[in-house]
Amino acid sequence: MRTARKGSVEMPAFVRQLVKETEKRVSSFFKGGRGAAAEGEQPGRGEKEEVIPSPYLDRPVLDKLTEEGCARWGLTYALGSMQGWRANMEDFHNCVPQLGGELAEWSFFAVFDGHAGSTVAQYCSQHLLGHILATGGLGAEDDPEKVRGSITEGFLQTDKHLHSVARREGWEKGGTTAVATLISPYYIYFANCGDSRATLCRSGQVCFSTEDHKPYSPLEKERIERAGGSVSLQRINGSLAVSRALGDFSYKGAENRAPVEQMVSPEPEVFVVERSQADEFLVLACDGVWDIISNEELCAFIHNRLQVCTDLRDVCTQVIDLCLYKGSLDNISIILLCFPGAPQLSAEALHQEAELEDLLESKVAEIYDELCARGEDPDLLSVLTVLASTPIPGLPPGGGIQSKRNCIISAYYQHRETHNPTVPNDLVGP
């Protein structure tokens, strides 16, 4: 992260190994102990243990995919994506900063959150934009009604062609939500199908956000029941947690009903927002983000991070880590689009960030030494537990102490190495 610090400290190999060894316990701490009660439980006497493949891993996959780019009209963007605790990565994306031809000043971005497999999400990431463009409704005149119609028709055509391919190739199982934005010289078009979400920040505040499509929403529930389904456990037929998606054809078989009248509808909600010089940034993300952090919290956090980070990929990475440490068990994907009016690097913010990291380092050292004075051997979790109950001024808005977790871990191991430089050989890495 490029902040007021001169650079991240290169930790010795054995310290990196120690971080790995404590990863699961530390993640459990930041998740509030989620799942801890289940660990070590044994089936009751006489009960037959049923082996069901878990959708979660024993420890998260922390490797991140990142990319960045820009459009000639002033847009910059970055993507961040991580598998996390999920057994498989089912998210896909599409980033096209310039469409070309008479649409050279237009941009398209989308996030696809697959479920029951990744095949549908991958297919849609490759074909949705093409189906939208094939309608012929996008042009230099930038007619909002025509564009809205083209986006909707593009989604419906994608689902129709997807169904044909699925039947031909035998993979009718699975589906994907989709949230997309089409940016023209005058408007920002938002399309949402499912529970991924787009949020626009203008003048430091949330200006617009899409609405999630959940089965228990009144209008969605009404359509589901008319199509012969039911809503229980906040899911369609007690199973599917979203009411609109591409794919999921087992929920689209009601006879004499149009595609948009099925239990699961492929129809997106399309919104149009006129562009403003006060537009700062736009976020597209899957529910692995939104289940953990609110629109307002994410807007505040990114607004703050843009004042201390020069690389948008770093900002995306920090958002992903924040969601992980706050308890997200899902795949996490985010696209951050910055307009010319986005916050810029601030000398004051950089100074405050440096002061915060100095304070955290001193607090970690203080807690460590206090625990040692009591005759305890302070492990990382013990230090984190005490630190979490300690008032810390100046934490990033919307992020809290979880957003500085990497700084805290680095400070802990550096202080521990100072006090206990001798480490068992089996912990020394290559």
Give the model confidence (pLDDT) of 355-373 as tens digits: 999 999 999 999 999 999 9
Residue 406, pLDDT > 50, answer yes
b/e 41-79 (16+ beta carbons within 10 angstroms → b): eeeeeeeeeeeeeeeeeeebeeebebeeeebeeebbbbb
Distance of CA 53 to the CA centre of its chain: 24
Least reliable range by pLDDT among 12-21, 165-174, 242-251, 261-270: 12-21
What's the pLDDT score for residue 78? 98
- CB neighbours of 379 closer than 8 A, spacing ≥ 6? 22
Residue 41, pLDDT > 90, answer no
Residue 420, pLDDT > 80, answer no
Do strands 197-202 and 279-285 pair parallel, antiparallel, or not at all (unpaired)? antiparallel
Residue 4, pLDDT > 50, answer no
Give the mean model confidence (pLDDT) for residues 404-408: 94
What's the pLDDT score for residue 13? 41
Tell me the Ramachandran region of residue 71: left when phi exceeds 0, alpha when psi lies from -120 to 50, beta otherwise: beta
Residue 241, pLDDT > 80, answer yes
CB 248 within 8 A of CB 221: no
Distance between CA 380 and CA 20 in Å, rounded? 12
Distance between CA 264 and CA 220 in Å, rounded? 9
Residue 331, pLDDT > 80, answer yes
pLDDT tens profile 134-182: 999 999 999 999 999 999 999 999 999 999 999 888 777 899 999 999 9
- CB neighbours of 271 closer than 8 A, spacing ≥ 6? 189, 190, 191, 192, 208, 210
Distance between CA 14 and CA 291 in Å, rounded? 35
Give the mean model confidence (pLDDT) for residues 89-114: 96
What's the pLDDT score for residue 238? 96
CA distances from 93 to 22, 170, 349 (A): 32, 24, 32
Tokens of 201: 């920040």
More confident residue, 363 or 52: 363
State the Cα torsion 362-364-370-372 to the nearest 10°.
-120
What's the pLDDT score for residue 347? 97
The pLDDT-based confidence of 79 (bands split at 50, 70, 90) is: very high
pLDDT tens profile 318-330: 999 999 999 999 9
The pLDDT-based confidence of 410 (bands split at 50, 70, 90) is: very high
Average pLDDT along the chain: 88
Give the mean model confidence (pLDDT) for residues 252-272: 97
Distance between CA 263 and CA 257 in Å, rounded? 10
The pLDDT-based confidence of 15 (bands split at 50, 70, 90) is: very low
The pLDDT-based confidence of 57 (bands split at 50, 70, 90) is: very high
Residue 430, pLDDT > 70, answer no
Give the mean model confidence (pLDDT) for residues 234-260: 96
Tell me the Ramachandran region of residue 228: left when phi exceeds 0, alpha when psi lies from -120 to 50, beta otherwise: left
More confident residue, 30 or 88: 88
What's the pLDDT score for residue 49? 53
- CB neighbours of 140 closer than 8 A, spacing ≥ 6? 102
Q: For 202-250, where are the alpha helices, taking DSSP H only? A: 218-226
Distance of CA 394 to the CA centre of its chain: 25
Identify the helix (H) or strand (E) that includes residue 139: none
* Segment 37-43 long-range contacts (CB within 8 Å, at least 24 positions apart): none
Taken in order of first residue, the domains within the chain and their CATH numbers are: 59-338 (3.60.40.10), 346-422 (1.10.10.430)
Residue 380, pLDDT > 50, answer yes
Residue 426, pLDDT > 60, answer no
Residue 43, pLDDT > 90, answer no
What's the pLDDT score for residue 419? 80
Give the mean model confidence (pLDDT) for residues 249-267: 96
The pLDDT-based confidence of 377 (bands split at 50, 70, 90) is: confident
CA distances from 91 to 113, 126, 420 (A): 5, 13, 43
| CA nearest neighbour of 284 among 218, 392, 210 | 210
Least reliable range by pLDDT among 19-23, 320-324, 347-351: 19-23
Residue 37, pLDDT > 90, answer no
Residue 266, pLDDT > 60, answer yes
Task: Tell me how many degrees the CA angle 305-338-336 measures, rounded to the nearest 5.
Answer: 70
Give the number of other CB atoms < 10 A from CB of residue 16. 13
